[in-house]
Amino acid sequence: MTEATGPERVRTAEQIELSAREAAAGVTPRQDHGSWAAKVDRLDVQQRDGVRGTNVAGRRLTGPVQGFGKMWQKTYRLDVGPGTSPQQAIATWKAHFPEFWPPGNRFAGALTGISPGDVALLDLAIGGGVKLSTGVFVLYADEESFTLMTPQGHMFAGWITFSAERSDPGTAVQAQVLMRANDPLYELGMIFGGHRKEDVFWAQTLTALGRYLGAPGAAGVPAGTVNPAVSTRTVCVDSKRQWRNARNIWHNSMVRSVLQTMAAPLRALRRRSAQDG
Amino acid sequence: MDGPTVTMQVRHLDGEVAVLDIKGEVTAACEPILMSAYEEAGGSAAKRLVLNFAGLEYMNSGGIGMLVTLLVRANRQRQKLAAYGLSEHYREIFELTRLDEAITIYHDEASALVGAAN
Protein backbone atom coordinates (compact mmCIF):
# COMPACT_ATOMS: atom_id res chain seq x y z
CA MET A 1 0.00 0.00 0.00
CA THR A 2 1.42 3.40 -0.89
CA GLU A 3 1.74 6.08 1.71
CA ALA A 4 -0.35 9.22 1.50
CA THR A 5 1.07 11.82 -0.83
CA GLY A 6 -0.37 15.04 0.48
CA PRO A 7 -0.37 17.99 -1.88
CA GLU A 8 1.52 19.97 0.73
CA ARG A 9 4.58 17.85 0.01
CA VAL A 10 4.56 18.40 -3.71
CA ARG A 11 7.73 19.96 -5.07
CA THR A 12 8.96 18.76 -8.44
CA ALA A 13 8.69 15.62 -10.49
CA GLU A 14 12.18 14.63 -9.33
CA GLN A 15 11.49 15.19 -5.67
CA ILE A 16 8.33 13.19 -5.54
CA GLU A 17 7.06 10.18 -7.32
CA LEU A 18 4.68 11.74 -9.77
CA SER A 19 2.56 9.19 -11.46
CA ALA A 20 3.73 8.15 -14.91
CA ARG A 21 0.54 9.61 -16.37
CA GLU A 22 1.17 13.03 -14.86
CA ALA A 23 4.87 13.08 -15.62
CA ALA A 24 4.29 12.07 -19.22
CA ALA A 25 1.63 14.69 -19.66
CA GLY A 26 3.66 17.37 -17.91
CA VAL A 27 0.76 17.93 -15.55
CA THR A 28 1.39 19.67 -12.26
CA PRO A 29 -0.91 18.23 -9.60
CA ARG A 30 -3.41 20.69 -8.22
CA GLN A 31 -2.81 21.79 -4.66
CA ASP A 32 -5.46 22.51 -2.07
CA HIS A 33 -3.34 23.15 0.99
CA GLY A 34 -3.77 26.93 1.04
CA SER A 35 -7.41 26.75 0.02
CA TRP A 36 -8.74 25.16 3.20
CA ALA A 37 -9.15 26.98 6.49
CA ALA A 38 -7.02 25.83 9.37
CA LYS A 39 -8.81 23.66 11.87
CA VAL A 40 -10.83 25.50 14.53
CA ASP A 41 -12.83 24.07 17.39
CA ARG A 42 -14.84 27.18 18.20
CA LEU A 43 -15.27 30.44 16.35
CA ASP A 44 -13.39 33.53 17.39
CA VAL A 45 -14.86 36.80 16.11
CA GLN A 46 -13.91 40.45 15.89
CA GLN A 47 -16.68 43.02 16.21
CA ARG A 48 -17.54 44.71 12.93
CA ASP A 49 -19.42 47.91 12.21
CA GLY A 50 -23.03 47.76 11.08
CA VAL A 51 -23.97 44.38 12.54
CA ARG A 52 -24.94 43.25 16.02
CA GLY A 53 -22.37 40.46 15.98
CA THR A 54 -24.02 38.16 18.47
CA ASN A 55 -24.53 34.37 18.46
CA VAL A 56 -21.22 33.56 16.79
CA ALA A 57 -18.33 33.79 19.27
CA GLY A 58 -17.54 30.46 20.86
CA ARG A 59 -19.91 28.54 18.59
CA ARG A 60 -18.86 25.33 16.85
CA LEU A 61 -19.24 24.80 13.12
CA THR A 62 -22.08 22.58 11.97
CA GLY A 63 -22.18 20.45 8.84
CA PRO A 64 -25.03 18.35 7.49
CA VAL A 65 -24.01 15.56 9.88
CA GLN A 66 -24.81 17.80 12.86
CA GLY A 67 -28.11 19.19 11.55
CA PHE A 68 -31.67 18.16 12.36
CA GLY A 69 -34.01 18.43 9.35
CA LYS A 70 -34.25 16.78 5.99
CA MET A 71 -31.11 17.15 3.92
CA TRP A 72 -31.36 19.27 0.80
CA GLN A 73 -29.08 20.14 -2.05
CA LYS A 74 -30.16 23.32 -3.78
CA THR A 75 -28.41 24.64 -6.85
CA TYR A 76 -28.91 28.14 -8.24
CA ARG A 77 -27.23 28.87 -11.56
CA LEU A 78 -26.92 31.74 -14.00
CA ASP A 79 -25.12 32.10 -17.32
CA VAL A 80 -23.15 35.35 -17.26
CA GLY A 81 -21.95 35.18 -20.85
CA PRO A 82 -18.61 34.73 -22.57
CA GLY A 83 -17.13 38.06 -21.51
CA THR A 84 -16.18 36.88 -18.02
CA SER A 85 -13.85 34.01 -17.19
CA PRO A 86 -14.68 31.75 -14.22
CA GLN A 87 -11.69 33.17 -12.37
CA GLN A 88 -12.82 36.74 -12.99
CA ALA A 89 -16.34 35.89 -11.85
CA ILE A 90 -15.13 34.38 -8.59
CA ALA A 91 -12.64 37.18 -7.95
CA THR A 92 -15.48 39.70 -8.36
CA TRP A 93 -17.85 37.68 -6.22
CA LYS A 94 -15.28 37.42 -3.43
CA ALA A 95 -14.37 41.10 -3.55
CA HIS A 96 -17.95 42.40 -3.59
CA PHE A 97 -19.80 39.59 -1.85
CA PRO A 98 -21.93 41.74 0.52
CA GLU A 99 -23.00 44.07 -2.29
CA PHE A 100 -24.85 41.29 -4.07
CA TRP A 101 -27.02 40.38 -1.10
CA PRO A 102 -30.71 41.34 -1.20
CA PRO A 103 -31.59 44.64 0.53
CA GLY A 104 -32.18 44.47 4.30
CA ASN A 105 -29.49 41.87 4.92
CA ARG A 106 -25.98 42.61 6.13
CA PHE A 107 -22.80 40.60 5.60
CA ALA A 108 -19.83 41.99 7.50
CA GLY A 109 -16.74 40.11 6.44
CA ALA A 110 -13.04 40.86 6.53
CA LEU A 111 -11.94 43.94 4.62
CA THR A 112 -9.68 41.77 2.52
CA GLY A 113 -12.61 39.89 1.00
CA ILE A 114 -13.16 36.15 1.34
CA SER A 115 -10.22 34.12 2.62
CA PRO A 116 -10.08 30.68 4.24
CA GLY A 117 -10.60 30.92 8.00
CA ASP A 118 -12.41 34.29 7.94
CA VAL A 119 -15.53 34.65 10.05
CA ALA A 120 -18.22 36.97 8.73
CA LEU A 121 -21.05 38.36 10.85
CA LEU A 122 -24.56 38.42 9.44
CA ASP A 123 -27.73 40.33 10.21
CA LEU A 124 -30.59 38.76 8.27
CA ALA A 125 -34.04 40.30 7.91
CA ILE A 126 -36.61 37.84 9.27
CA GLY A 127 -39.60 40.18 9.44
CA GLY A 128 -41.25 42.19 12.19
CA GLY A 129 -38.27 44.49 12.39
CA VAL A 130 -36.15 41.73 13.87
CA LYS A 131 -32.70 40.91 12.52
CA LEU A 132 -31.37 37.40 12.95
CA SER A 133 -27.76 37.73 14.06
CA THR A 134 -25.50 34.89 13.12
CA GLY A 135 -22.35 34.29 11.08
CA VAL A 136 -20.52 32.12 8.60
CA PHE A 137 -17.02 30.68 8.37
CA VAL A 138 -15.00 30.63 5.15
CA LEU A 139 -14.22 26.93 4.90
CA TYR A 140 -12.58 26.86 1.49
CA ALA A 141 -11.57 29.36 -1.18
CA ASP A 142 -9.67 29.02 -4.44
CA GLU A 143 -9.75 30.76 -7.80
CA GLU A 144 -12.85 28.97 -9.04
CA SER A 145 -14.92 28.51 -5.90
CA PHE A 146 -15.39 29.34 -2.24
CA THR A 147 -17.41 27.70 0.50
CA LEU A 148 -19.05 29.09 3.62
CA MET A 149 -19.91 26.86 6.59
CA THR A 150 -22.44 27.69 9.27
CA PRO A 151 -22.09 27.80 13.06
CA GLN A 152 -24.42 26.44 15.75
CA GLY A 153 -27.62 28.47 15.87
CA HIS A 154 -27.66 29.34 12.17
CA MET A 155 -30.86 28.44 10.27
CA PHE A 156 -29.14 25.57 8.59
CA ALA A 157 -26.29 23.23 9.30
CA GLY A 158 -24.16 22.78 6.23
CA TRP A 159 -22.28 24.73 3.67
CA ILE A 160 -22.83 26.76 0.58
CA THR A 161 -20.39 26.66 -2.31
CA PHE A 162 -20.13 29.51 -4.79
CA SER A 163 -18.44 28.53 -8.02
CA ALA A 164 -17.99 29.44 -11.65
CA GLU A 165 -17.15 27.29 -14.63
CA ARG A 166 -16.98 27.37 -18.41
CA SER A 167 -20.36 26.38 -19.74
CA ASP A 168 -21.14 26.68 -23.41
CA PRO A 169 -21.54 29.40 -24.61
CA GLY A 170 -19.93 31.30 -21.75
CA THR A 171 -19.39 31.20 -18.02
CA ALA A 172 -21.95 30.00 -15.50
CA VAL A 173 -21.97 31.12 -11.87
CA GLN A 174 -23.52 28.89 -9.29
CA ALA A 175 -24.47 28.80 -5.61
CA GLN A 176 -25.01 25.32 -4.20
CA VAL A 177 -26.35 24.74 -0.70
CA LEU A 178 -25.98 21.40 1.08
CA MET A 179 -27.93 21.69 4.29
CA ARG A 180 -30.26 20.47 6.98
CA ALA A 181 -32.34 22.82 9.12
CA ASN A 182 -30.40 23.12 12.34
CA ASP A 183 -33.25 22.34 14.75
CA PRO A 184 -37.00 21.54 14.84
CA LEU A 185 -38.03 25.20 14.97
CA TYR A 186 -36.01 26.05 11.86
CA GLU A 187 -37.34 22.90 10.17
CA LEU A 188 -40.87 24.14 10.69
CA GLY A 189 -39.85 27.52 9.36
CA MET A 190 -38.33 25.92 6.26
CA ILE A 191 -41.54 24.00 5.59
CA PHE A 192 -43.73 27.08 6.01
CA GLY A 193 -42.07 29.47 3.61
CA GLY A 194 -38.40 29.19 4.52
CA HIS A 195 -37.41 27.23 1.44
CA ARG A 196 -39.16 29.69 -0.84
CA LYS A 197 -37.55 32.62 0.95
CA GLU A 198 -34.13 31.02 0.59
CA ASP A 199 -34.71 30.37 -3.11
CA VAL A 200 -35.58 34.03 -3.66
CA PHE A 201 -32.57 35.15 -1.60
CA TRP A 202 -30.01 33.29 -3.68
CA ALA A 203 -31.76 33.97 -6.97
CA GLN A 204 -31.65 37.69 -6.16
CA THR A 205 -28.00 37.37 -5.22
CA LEU A 206 -27.14 35.70 -8.55
CA THR A 207 -29.22 38.31 -10.36
CA ALA A 208 -27.23 41.12 -8.73
CA LEU A 209 -23.93 39.38 -9.53
CA GLY A 210 -25.05 38.82 -13.12
CA ARG A 211 -25.98 42.47 -13.47
CA TYR A 212 -22.54 43.50 -12.17
CA LEU A 213 -20.82 41.13 -14.60
CA GLY A 214 -22.94 42.26 -17.51
CA ALA A 215 -24.77 38.98 -17.99
CA PRO A 216 -26.95 38.76 -21.11
CA GLY A 217 -30.32 40.38 -20.46
CA ALA A 218 -29.32 41.53 -16.98
CA ALA A 219 -29.61 45.22 -17.78
CA GLY A 220 -33.40 44.94 -18.11
CA VAL A 221 -33.87 43.30 -14.71
CA PRO A 222 -34.78 45.83 -12.00
CA ALA A 223 -32.77 45.85 -8.76
CA GLY A 224 -34.24 43.71 -5.97
CA THR A 225 -35.96 41.33 -8.38
CA VAL A 226 -35.06 37.94 -9.80
CA ASN A 227 -33.68 37.39 -13.27
CA PRO A 228 -35.86 34.63 -14.75
CA ALA A 229 -32.70 33.19 -16.29
CA VAL A 230 -31.59 31.99 -12.85
CA SER A 231 -32.27 28.25 -12.69
CA THR A 232 -33.05 26.50 -9.42
CA ARG A 233 -32.69 22.78 -8.81
CA THR A 234 -33.70 21.25 -5.49
CA VAL A 235 -32.93 17.67 -4.47
CA CYS A 236 -33.93 16.04 -1.18
CA VAL A 237 -30.79 14.04 -0.40
CA ASP A 238 -32.14 12.55 2.82
CA SER A 239 -35.79 12.65 3.85
CA LYS A 240 -35.02 11.48 7.38
CA ARG A 241 -34.78 13.92 10.25
CA GLN A 242 -31.99 13.47 12.78
CA TRP A 243 -33.91 13.60 16.04
CA ARG A 244 -30.76 13.06 18.06
CA ASN A 245 -29.85 16.63 17.07
CA ALA A 246 -33.19 18.18 18.14
CA ARG A 247 -31.55 19.82 21.13
CA ASN A 248 -29.63 22.08 18.73
CA ILE A 249 -32.59 24.35 19.45
CA TRP A 250 -30.74 25.56 22.54
CA HIS A 251 -28.42 27.55 20.24
CA ASN A 252 -31.21 28.86 17.97
CA SER A 253 -30.02 32.30 16.86
CA MET A 254 -33.50 33.39 15.80
CA VAL A 255 -34.91 32.90 19.30
CA ARG A 256 -31.85 34.51 20.80
CA SER A 257 -31.99 37.43 18.36
CA VAL A 258 -35.64 38.08 19.26
CA LEU A 259 -34.77 38.00 22.96
CA GLN A 260 -31.76 40.27 22.37
CA THR A 261 -33.95 42.73 20.46
CA MET A 262 -36.54 42.74 23.25
CA ALA A 263 -33.87 43.20 25.89
CA ALA A 264 -32.15 46.05 24.03
CA PRO A 265 -34.13 48.88 25.71
CA LEU A 266 -33.39 47.39 29.14
CA ARG A 267 -29.68 47.19 28.33
CA ALA A 268 -29.72 50.81 27.15
CA LEU A 269 -31.45 51.90 30.38
CA ARG A 270 -28.92 50.00 32.46
CA ARG A 271 -26.03 51.61 30.55
CA ARG A 272 -27.53 55.08 31.04
CA SER A 273 -28.08 54.61 34.76
CA ALA A 274 -24.53 53.29 35.12
CA GLN A 275 -23.21 56.42 33.37
CA ASP A 276 -25.42 58.70 35.50
CA GLY A 277 -24.47 56.93 38.70
CA MET B 1 -13.35 22.55 -15.95
CA ASP B 2 -11.58 19.30 -16.81
CA GLY B 3 -13.16 15.94 -16.19
CA PRO B 4 -12.56 13.96 -13.02
CA THR B 5 -9.03 12.64 -12.50
CA VAL B 6 -9.73 9.97 -9.96
CA THR B 7 -9.88 6.21 -9.86
CA MET B 8 -11.82 4.19 -7.33
CA GLN B 9 -11.08 0.49 -7.23
CA VAL B 10 -13.13 -1.89 -5.15
CA ARG B 11 -11.68 -4.78 -3.18
CA HIS B 12 -14.04 -7.32 -1.66
CA LEU B 13 -12.48 -8.74 1.48
CA ASP B 14 -15.46 -10.93 2.21
CA GLY B 15 -19.15 -10.77 1.55
CA GLU B 16 -19.72 -8.03 4.08
CA VAL B 17 -16.68 -5.75 3.80
CA ALA B 18 -15.49 -3.79 0.81
CA VAL B 19 -12.54 -1.43 0.53
CA LEU B 20 -12.60 1.49 -1.90
CA ASP B 21 -9.10 2.52 -2.99
CA ILE B 22 -9.39 6.20 -3.93
CA LYS B 23 -6.60 7.68 -6.03
CA GLY B 24 -6.39 11.15 -7.49
CA GLU B 25 -8.58 14.22 -7.10
CA VAL B 26 -11.82 14.12 -5.16
CA THR B 27 -14.23 16.81 -6.30
CA ALA B 28 -17.97 17.02 -6.93
CA ALA B 29 -17.25 15.99 -10.54
CA CYS B 30 -16.35 12.46 -9.49
CA GLU B 31 -19.69 11.71 -7.84
CA PRO B 32 -20.78 9.30 -10.62
CA ILE B 33 -17.50 7.38 -10.21
CA LEU B 34 -17.95 7.16 -6.43
CA MET B 35 -21.55 6.05 -6.68
CA SER B 36 -20.63 3.49 -9.33
CA ALA B 37 -17.87 2.17 -7.04
CA TYR B 38 -20.37 2.07 -4.19
CA GLU B 39 -22.68 -0.11 -6.26
CA GLU B 40 -19.77 -2.32 -7.26
CA ALA B 41 -18.87 -2.64 -3.59
CA GLY B 42 -22.15 -4.36 -3.10
CA GLY B 43 -24.59 -1.51 -2.66
CA SER B 44 -26.85 -2.49 0.16
CA ALA B 45 -25.29 -5.98 0.44
CA ALA B 46 -22.02 -4.77 1.97
CA LYS B 47 -22.38 -4.13 5.67
CA ARG B 48 -19.13 -2.25 6.03
CA LEU B 49 -17.43 0.08 3.63
CA VAL B 50 -13.84 1.21 4.16
CA LEU B 51 -12.49 4.19 2.21
CA ASN B 52 -8.76 4.12 1.51
CA PHE B 53 -7.50 7.68 1.00
CA ALA B 54 -3.79 6.84 0.77
CA GLY B 55 -3.81 7.87 -2.88
CA LEU B 56 -5.72 11.11 -2.36
CA GLU B 57 -3.92 13.99 -4.11
CA TYR B 58 -6.44 16.82 -4.00
CA MET B 59 -9.85 17.49 -2.53
CA ASN B 60 -12.02 20.58 -2.57
CA SER B 61 -15.23 21.38 -0.71
CA GLY B 62 -17.27 19.72 -3.45
CA GLY B 63 -15.46 16.49 -2.63
CA ILE B 64 -16.44 16.75 1.02
CA GLY B 65 -20.04 17.33 -0.03
CA MET B 66 -19.90 14.20 -2.14
CA LEU B 67 -18.69 12.17 0.84
CA VAL B 68 -21.68 13.46 2.81
CA THR B 69 -23.96 12.16 0.06
CA LEU B 70 -22.23 8.77 0.24
CA LEU B 71 -22.67 8.81 4.01
CA VAL B 72 -26.41 9.38 3.62
CA ARG B 73 -26.68 6.40 1.27
CA ALA B 74 -24.68 4.22 3.66
CA ASN B 75 -26.79 5.29 6.66
CA ARG B 76 -29.94 4.51 4.73
CA GLN B 77 -28.68 0.93 4.27
CA ARG B 78 -27.44 0.77 7.90
CA GLN B 79 -23.87 0.35 6.68
CA LYS B 80 -20.80 1.39 8.63
CA LEU B 81 -18.41 3.78 6.92
CA ALA B 82 -14.75 3.99 7.90
CA ALA B 83 -11.68 5.65 6.42
CA TYR B 84 -7.92 5.32 6.59
CA GLY B 85 -4.82 6.57 4.79
CA LEU B 86 -5.63 10.24 5.29
CA SER B 87 -2.63 12.56 5.48
CA GLU B 88 -2.50 14.98 8.41
CA HIS B 89 -3.84 17.71 6.13
CA TYR B 90 -6.92 15.76 5.08
CA ARG B 91 -7.49 14.40 8.57
CA GLU B 92 -7.73 18.02 9.76
CA ILE B 93 -10.26 18.76 7.01
CA PHE B 94 -12.39 15.84 8.17
CA GLU B 95 -12.20 17.27 11.69
CA LEU B 96 -12.88 20.84 10.57
CA THR B 97 -16.00 19.81 8.66
CA ARG B 98 -16.91 17.40 11.49
CA LEU B 99 -17.20 14.58 9.01
CA ASP B 100 -15.03 12.54 11.38
CA GLU B 101 -18.05 12.32 13.71
CA ALA B 102 -19.81 10.13 11.16
CA ILE B 103 -16.95 8.47 9.28
CA THR B 104 -14.54 6.88 11.73
CA ILE B 105 -10.91 7.50 10.80
CA TYR B 106 -8.25 4.86 11.31
CA HIS B 107 -4.51 4.87 10.86
CA ASP B 108 -4.26 1.86 8.57
CA GLU B 109 -6.30 -0.79 6.84
CA ALA B 110 -5.87 -3.42 9.52
CA SER B 111 -7.24 -1.18 12.27
CA ALA B 112 -10.01 0.08 9.97
CA LEU B 113 -11.16 -3.47 9.31
CA VAL B 114 -11.09 -4.37 13.00
CA GLY B 115 -12.84 -1.11 13.96
CA ALA B 116 -15.48 -1.40 11.30
CA ALA B 117 -16.27 -4.94 12.44
CA ASN B 118 -17.13 -3.80 15.99
The pLDDT of A70-80, averaged and rounded, is 96
Instruction: Evaluate whether residue B61 is within a structural domain.
Output: yes
Residues A5-40: b if buried by 16+ CB within 10 A, e if exposed:
bbbeebeeeeeeebbeeeeeeeeebbebeebbbeee
The pLDDT of A247-263, averaged and rounded, is 92
Q: Predicted confidence band at A13 (pLDDT cuts at 50, 70, 90)?
A: very low
Chain A residues closer than 8 Å to B86 by CB: 4
Nearest-angstrom CA–CA distance, A211 and A227? 9
Give the pLDDT confidence score for residue A256 in this predicted structure.
93
pLDDT at B33 over 60: yes
The pLDDT of B29-42, averaged and rounded, is 90
The pLDDT of B3-15, averaged and rounded, is 84
pLDDT at A272 over 70: yes
CB contact under 8 A, B54 and A29: no
Give the pLDDT confidence score for residue A44 in this predicted structure.
92
Say if B111 is an interface residue toward chain A (CB within 8 Å): no
Which is more confidently placed, B12 or A26?
A: B12
Closest CA to A182 of A57, A70, A56: A70
Instruction: Answer for the pair A99, A235: CB distance below 8 angstroms, yes or no.
Output: no
Instruction: Answer for the pair A210, A78: CB distance below 8 angstroms, yes or no.
Output: yes
A229-246 pLDDT tens trace:
899 999 999 999 999 999
Give the pLDDT confidence score for residue B3 in this predicted structure.
59
How many angstroms separate the Cα of A277 from the Cα of each of A13, A263, A273?
Answer: 72, 21, 6
Q: Predicted confidence band at B44 (pLDDT cuts at 50, 70, 90)?
A: low
> CB-based contacts of B114: which residues, under 8 Å, 6+ apart?
none
Helix, strand, coil: what percent of chain B each, to 5?
Answer: 40, 30, 25
Give the pLDDT confidence score for residue A31 in this predicted structure.
86
A164-218 pLDDT tens trace:
999 887 999 999 999 999 999 999 999 999 999 999 999 999 999 999 999 887 7
Give the pLDDT confidence score for residue A101 in this predicted structure.
92
**Closest residue in chain B to residue A140, using alpha carbons only:** B61
CB contact under 8 A, B98 and A2: no
DSSP code for A110: B
Chain A residues closer than 8 Å to B96 by CB: 36-40, 61, 139
Domain ranges for chain A, please list them. 61-242
Give the pLDDT confidence score for residue A18 in this predicted structure.
44
CA–CA min distance B46, chain A (Å): 20
**Closest residue in chain A to residue B85, using alpha carbons only:** A4
CB contact under 8 A, B58 and A29: yes
Chain A residues closer than 8 Å to B97 by CB: 61, 63, 139, 149, 159
DSSP code for A37: P
Report chain B's C-alpha Rg in angstroms.
13
Count Cα neighbours of A263 within 13 Å in the Cβ-side half-sphere.
Answer: 8
ipTM of the complex: 0.91
Which is more confidently placed, A222 or A119?
A: A119
CB contact under 8 A, B96 and A139: yes
Count Cα neighbours of B118 within 13 Å in the Cβ-side half-sphere.
Answer: 6
Instruction: Evaluate whether residue B1 is within a structural domain.
Output: no
Of B68, B92, B93, nearest to A64 by CB-CB distance is B68
Nearest-angstrom CA–CA distance, B111 and B104? 11
Of A29, A66, A238, nearest to B98 by CB-CB distance is A66
Task: Give the residue numbers spanning the domain of B43.
Answer: 6-117
A186-198 pLDDT tens trace:
999 999 999 999 9
CB contact under 8 A, A30 and B25: yes
Beta strands in chain A (DSSP E): 61-62, 71-81, 106-108, 119-125, 131-141, 145-151, 156-167, 170-181, 231-238
CA–CA min distance A237, chain B (Å): 7
CB contact under 8 A, A62 and B88: no
CA–CA min distance A167, chain B (Å): 9
| Cis before B32? omega within 30 | no
pLDDT at A24 over 70: no
The C-alpha angle with vertex A136 and arms to A134 and A140, in degrees rounded to 5, equals 175
- Look over chain B and give the mean of its residue pLDDT values, rounded to a whole number: 91
Give the pLDDT confidence score for residue A9 in this predicted structure.
36
Min mean pLDDT across A145-159, A180-194, A237-251, A255-269 is at A255-269
What CATH number is attached to the domain comprising B15?
Answer: 3.30.750.24
- Three-class DSSP category at A92: helix
Give the pLDDT confidence score for residue A10 in this predicted structure.
37
Size of interface A-B (CB pairs under 8 A): 103
Q: Say which CATH superfamily domain A61-242 falls into.
A: START domain (3.30.530.20)
**DSSP H stretches of helix in B30-99:** 31-40, 61-76, 88-96
Of B54, B92, B97, nearest to A63 by CB-CB distance is B97
Give the pLDDT confidence score for residue A6 in this predicted structure.
36
Q: How many CB atoms lie within 10 A of CB A199?
A: 17
Q: φ, ψ for residue A271 (rounded to 5)? A: -65, -40
Give the pLDDT confidence score for residue B80 in this predicted structure.
92
* Amino acid residing at B15: G
B53-110 pLDDT tens trace:
999 999 999 999 999 999 999 999 899 999 999 999 999 999 999 999 999 999 999 9
Number of domains in chain B: 1
Of B76, B85, B89, nearest to A8 by CB-CB distance is B89
CB contact under 8 A, B61 and A145: yes
A132-144 pLDDT tens trace:
999 999 999 999 9
**Closest residue in chain A to residue B21, using alpha carbons only:** A1
Give the pLDDT confidence score for residue A271 in this predicted structure.
82
Instruction: Evaluate whether residue B76 is within a structural domain.
Output: yes
> CB-based contacts of A200: which residues, under 8 Å, 6+ apart?
A102, A226
The pLDDT of A156-166, averaged and rounded, is 96
Nearest-angstrom CA–CA distance, A146 and A166? 16
Instruction: Answer for the pair A118, B66: CB distance below 8 angstroms, yes or no.
Output: no
Q: How many CB atoms lie within 10 A of CB A163?
A: 24
